[in-house]
């Protein structure tokens, strides 16, 4: 990448990520594990994509490479025309800081900071952030802003994590099992927040899950197995997160 990614939000339907022949090989001791076996995929602006697949299918690896947390062993990956493969650590840091929001299964909030301060961590370093209060309002937490993580329920903590991820107005929101640690009701509330972000901000949203039900809320569903995309389908109509049941 030659310049800092700083383009305005692309119109819906334009390619944000283009991956060609992505391979990822891990070496653990003497064992070689091939996590991605040549993945070709295009992810478009404004899309909500769900990645389904069993454990070890390579979903998280793909997500981490897309988000600049990891680099592919071979293959090409571009973000809005910029090559991400072979990018330097500093460039990846800037990419994460300005373009990508992450949500993990475990909320990973800083326990010593309040909800508002956790979000403010990002707004302090991002280029064009929204106010922490605005981000928290988007996930319905305006009333709990000055609570510490220990004073919030699991669902609330995950919503703070989402607010933290989107406060920078990222072009991409990557969610790794965002409801994995939550009960159904709370999980739905979290999914509603993600859905709202995707709809209102037009953020390309990628969700990894084991839960096939969640595929209903996606524009597109990609099935991974053995490090390859084995099936892709496009939903003719997205279901509302509030209507999901599992």
Partner 1 sequence: MLDPLDLKLLRDLGRMKGQVLAVSLVMACGLAMMIMTRSLTYTLETTRSAYYQKNAMADVFASLKRAPLAVAERVAALPGVAVVEPRVAVNVTLDLPGVAEPANGRILSLPEDGGPQKLNRLFLRSGRMPRLEARDEVVLGEAFAEANGLKPGASVVAVINGRRETLQICGIGLSPEFVFEARAGDTLPNHRRFSVMWMNYRPLAVAYNLDGAFNDLCIDLTPGTAPESVIAAVDRLLTPYGASGAYTIAEQASAQRLNDEMRVLSSLAVVYPLVFLSVAAFMVNAVLARIVRLQREQIAQMKALGYSSRQVGLHYLKFVVVIGLLGTLIGGVAGRFLGASLVNMYTLFFRFPKLEFQMDYSALALALVVSLGASVAGVLTVVWQAVKLPPAEAMRPEPPADFQPSLFERIGLTRFFSPAMRMALRNIERRPWQALFTSCGLALATGLMVLPGAMSDSIDFLLTFQWNRQQRQDVTVFLTEPGSGSGFHDLEHLPGVIRAEPIRSVPTRLRFGHRSRKLSVTGIGPGTSLNRLLDGHGDIITLPEDGLVMSKKLAEILGARIGDLVQVQVLEGRRPLVDVPLRGLVTDYAGVNAFMDLSALRRLMRESDTINGAFIAVDHARWDDFMRAIKDTPRSAAVMVKRDQLAAFRETTAKSIGLIRKLYFVLAVIVAFGVVYNSARIALSERSRELATLRVVGFRLAEIRGVLIGELAILVLAALPVGLLFGRGLALYIMASFSTETVRMPIVINPATYSLAVTVVLAAALLSFAVVGRMVGQLDMVGVLKARD
Work out how close the CB of 81 gets to partner 1 at its nearest, in angstroms, rounded to a whole number: 21
The residue (of 177 and 195) whose beta carbon lies closer to partner 1 is 177
Burial class of 73 by CB neighbour count within 10 A (0 to 12, 13 to 18, 19+):
middle
The residue (of 6 and 112) whose beta carbon lies closer to partner 1 is 112
> Distance of CA 28 to CAs 59, 86, 148, 180, 236, Å?
19, 22, 38, 27, 42
Q: Does 14 bind partner 1 (CB under 8 A)?
A: no
In the list 48, 50, 58, 64, the residue contacting partner 1 (rule: CB under 8 A) is 64
Sites for partner 1 among residues 73-92 (CB under 8 A): 89-90
Looking at 20-28, 38-46, 149-157, 189-197, which segment touches partner 1 (CB under 8 A)?
149-157
Q: Does 60 bind partner 1 (CB under 8 A)?
A: yes
Q: Which of 104, 111, 101, 97 is nearest to 138 (CA)?
A: 101
Sites for partner 1 among residues 113-142 (CB under 8 A): 113, 117, 120-122, 124-126
CB contact at 8 A, 154 and 104 = no
* CA pair distance 104, 93, nearest whole angstrom: 18
Looking at 30-38, 45-53, 161-169, 182-190, which segment touches partner 1 (CB under 8 A)?
161-169
Size of the site for partner 1 (CB under 8 A): 38
Q: Catalog residues that contact partner 1 under the rule CB under 8 A.
A: 60, 64, 67, 69-70, 89-90, 93-94, 96-98, 100, 102, 104-106, 108-113, 117, 120-122, 124-126, 148-150, 157, 164-165, 168, 176
């Amino acid at each position: 990448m030659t310049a800092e990614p700083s383009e305005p939000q692309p119109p819906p339907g334009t390619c944000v990520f283009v991956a060609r022949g992505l391979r990822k090989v891990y070496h653990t001791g003497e064992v070689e594990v091939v996590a991605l076996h040549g993945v070709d995929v295009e992810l478009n602006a404004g899309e909500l994509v769900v990645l389904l697949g069993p454990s070890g299918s390579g979903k998280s690896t793909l997500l981490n490479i897309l988000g600049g947390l990891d680099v592919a062993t071979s293959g090409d990956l571009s973000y809005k025309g910029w090559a991400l493969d072979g990018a330097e650590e500093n460039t990846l840091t800037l990419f994460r800081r300005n373009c990508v929001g992450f949500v993990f299964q475990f909320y990973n909030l800083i326990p010593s900071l309040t909800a508002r301060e956790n979000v403010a961590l990002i707004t302090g370093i991002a280029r064009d952030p929204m106010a922490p209060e605005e981000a928290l309002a988007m996930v319905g937490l305006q009333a709990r802003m000055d609570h510490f993580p220990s004073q919030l329920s699991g669902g609330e903590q995950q919503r703070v994590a989402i607010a933290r991820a989107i406060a920078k107005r990222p072009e991409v929101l990557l969610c790794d099992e965002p409801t994995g640690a939550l009960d159904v009701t709370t999980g739905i509330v979290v999914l509603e927040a993600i859905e709202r972000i995707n709809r209102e901000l037009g953020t390309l949203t990628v969700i990894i899950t084991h839960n096939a039900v969640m595929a209903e809320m996606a524009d597109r569903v990609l099935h991974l197995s053995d490090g390859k995309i084995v099936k892709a389908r496009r939903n003719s109509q997205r279901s509302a997160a509030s209507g999901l049941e599992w």
